[in-house]
């Protein structure tokens, strides 16, 4: 008899089970003091962007093209790292963030300013990677901009995190840079959790499928063990249905056949192993049970659109540039 117990959903809520390991890993942070007038362009990137406004508010030009005012004590997360602008006033001329000289405060934390003589707007920002592939359905559903204050009524920990960041952002105490970085990670993850627990802003599509009593359990099992050799028969038994009945219900609710969905999840995980964990193609292929690198590469390209060697080449090029 097959054992489903190793990573089978344990909370009774498939969405919680799928996301219980959700993590944001911060890779770089900056503390910035800007004297008016000022504007900063943040280019699009694969990592999420986080901003905390420590002193004196500013304006955010959202990916939608609309300006929104941010007050001191505000925090925003752009989960897909969309291009945006922060400025002292709407329409202020903005310069690329990469053009500023920075000074390292501690590991992965930098300071910069536009050299004004009076106290200006004080910002703390960071770049963070999800431990989810960029094509994960959840990331596609997230709004372009998520504001902490809009969620704090549902998450009592958010105000305390914002207050703690406000105390540290002046960096007048020992260890403030590292503490700020950790607080930013926790606050960003808390914002995501609050959004998920409030229903992800949508009751249709993938979320509706995950919340289906029968299909949700199957989806959770697939996501928790993407390296397992899932078959339609195995998944049908998990749901307690016939093979044909399960396949029909799955396709109706999820919008994909079980086999296609499993392959997508496996290839999304494979890309994470290649890019985030820097595993060799042969290791990833073996983890997923492929008998050859060639068969794995064909399946990977069919789902992702590029061969796995493309991601290895990108990583090697970045390593050479960093050196």
3 state SS for the chain: CCCCCCCCCCCCCHHHHHHCCCCEEEEEEEEEEECCCCEEEECCCCCEEEEEEEECCEEEECCCCCEEEECCCCEEEECCCCCEEEECCCCCCCEEHHHCCCEEEECCEEEEECCCCCCCEEEEEEEEEECCCCCCHHHHHCCCCEEHHHHCCCCCHHHHHHHHHHHHCCCCCCCHHHHHHHHHHHHHHHHHHHHHHCCCCCCCHHHHHHCCCCHHHHHHHHHHCCCCCCCHHHHHHHHCCCHHHHHHHHHHHHCCCHHHHHHHHHHHHHHHHHHCCCCCHHHHHHHCCCCCHHHHHHHHHHHHCCCHHHHHHHHHHHHHHHC
Q: Is residue 179 part of a domain?
A: yes
Are 45 and 131 contained in the same domain? yes
Work out the average pLDDT over 92-117: 80
pLDDT at position 88, please? Answer: 93
Q: What's this model's pTM, rounded to 2 decimal places? A: 0.75
Residue 8 lies in a domain: no
pLDDT in tens, 228-245: 999 999 999 999 999 999
Residue 90: predicted pLDDT: 96
- Helices 232-239 and 215-224, packing angle to 10 deg: 130
Residue 5 forms part of a structural domain: no
Which residue in 126, 190, 199 sits closest to 161, CA to CA? 190
- State whether 94 and 235 are in the same domain: no
241 & 285 share domain:
yes
pLDDT band for position 321 (cuts 50, 70, 90): very low
CB atoms within 10 A of CB 101: 9
Residues 192 and 236 in one domain: no
180-199: pLDDT as tens digits: 888 998 998 888 888 877 76
Cα 92 from chain centre: 30
The residue from 198, 228, 261 where one domain ends is 198
Domain end call among 174, 198, 222:
198
Structural domain contains residue 1: no
31-63 per-position pLDDT tens digit:
888 888 999 999 999 889 999 999 899 999 999
Q: Tell me the chain's radius of gyration from C-alpha atoms.
A: 22
Q: Do 194 and 210 reside in the same domain of the chain? A: no
- Position 20 scores a pLDDT of 72
| Pair 25, 156 in one domain | yes
Q: What is the mean pLDDT of residues 154-165?
A: 88
153: left (phi over 0), alpha (psi -120 to 50) or beta: alpha
| Mean pLDDT taken over the chain | 84
- Report if residue 140 sits inside a domain: yes
- Return the pLDDT at 3: 37
What per-residue confidence (pLDDT) applies to 103?
A: 80
Instruction: Look up residue 252 and give its two tokens.
Output: 């109706």
In a domain, 2, yes or no: no
How many domains does the structure of the chain reveal?
2
- Residue 250 pLDDT > 70, yes or no? yes
Cβ(132)–Cβ(139) below 8 Å: yes
**Maximum C-alpha span of the chain:** 73
**Which residue among 198, 219, 248 closes a domain?**
198
Kindly state whether residues 141 and 213 are assigned to the same domain: no
Co-location of 254 and 311 in the same domain: yes
pLDDT classification of 201: cutoffs 50, 70, 90:
low
CATH number at residue 292: 1.10.10.60
- Across 294-305, b (16+ Cβ under 10 Å) vs e yields eebbebbeebbe
Residue 3 lies in a domain: no
Domain range for 45 is 14-198
Q: Is the domain of 98 the same as that of 126?
A: yes
Claim to verify: residue 176 and residue 264 sit in the same structural domain: no
pLDDT in tens, 162-175: 999 988 887 677 78
CATH number reported for the structural domain that contains residue 61 in this entry: 2.60.120.10
Residues 162 and 277 in one domain: no
- Asked if residue 113 is part of any domain, the answer here is yes
Assess whether pLDDT exceeds 70 at residue 1.
Answer: no
- Decide if pLDDT at 16 tops 50: yes
**Euclidean distance between CA atoms 149 and 208, whole angstroms:** 27
Q: Which of 134, 126, 272, 136 is nearest to 185 (CA)?
A: 126
Same structural domain, 172 and 267: no
């Amino acid at each position: 008899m097959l054992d489903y117990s190793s990573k089978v959903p344990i909370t009774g809520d498939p969405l919680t089970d799928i996301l219980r390991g959700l993590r944001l890993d911060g890779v770089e942070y900056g503390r910035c003091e800007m004297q008016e007038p000022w504007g900063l362009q943040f280019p699009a990137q694969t990592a999420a962007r986080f901003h905390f406004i420590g002193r004196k508010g500013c304006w955010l030009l959202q990916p939608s093209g609309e300006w929104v005012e941010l007050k001191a004590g505000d925090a925003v997360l752009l989960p897909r790292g969309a291009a945006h602008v922060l400025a002292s006033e709407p329409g202020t001329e903005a310069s690329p963030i990469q053009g500023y000289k920075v000074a390292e405060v501690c590991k992965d934390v930098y300071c910069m300013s536009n050299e004004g003589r009076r106290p200006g707007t004080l910002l703390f920002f960071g770049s963070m990677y999800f431990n989810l592939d960029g094509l994960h359905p959840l990331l596609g559903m997230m709004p372009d901009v998520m504001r902490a204050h809009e969620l704090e009524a549902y998450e009592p920990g958010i105000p305390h995190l914002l207050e703690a960041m406000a105390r540290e952002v002046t960096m007048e105490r020992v260890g403030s840079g590292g503490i700020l970085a950790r607080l930013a990670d926790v606050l960003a993850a808390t914002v995501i959790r609050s959004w998920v627990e409030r229903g992800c802003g949508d009751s249709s599509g993938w979320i509706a499928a995950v919340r289906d009593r029968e299909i949700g359990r199957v989806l959770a099992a697939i996501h928790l063990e993407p390296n397992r050799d899932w078959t339609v028969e195995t998944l049908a038994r998990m749901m307690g249905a016939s093979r044909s009945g399960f396949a029909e219900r799955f396709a109706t609710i999820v919008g994909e056949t079980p086999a296609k969905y499993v392959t997508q999840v496996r290839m999304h995980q494979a890309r994470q192993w290649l890019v985030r964990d820097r595993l060799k193609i042969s290791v990833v292929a073996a983890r997923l049970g492929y008998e050859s690198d060639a068969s794995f590469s064909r399946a990977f390209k069919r789902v992702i659109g590029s061969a796995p060697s493309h991601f290895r080449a990108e990583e090697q090029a970045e390593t050479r540039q960093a050196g």
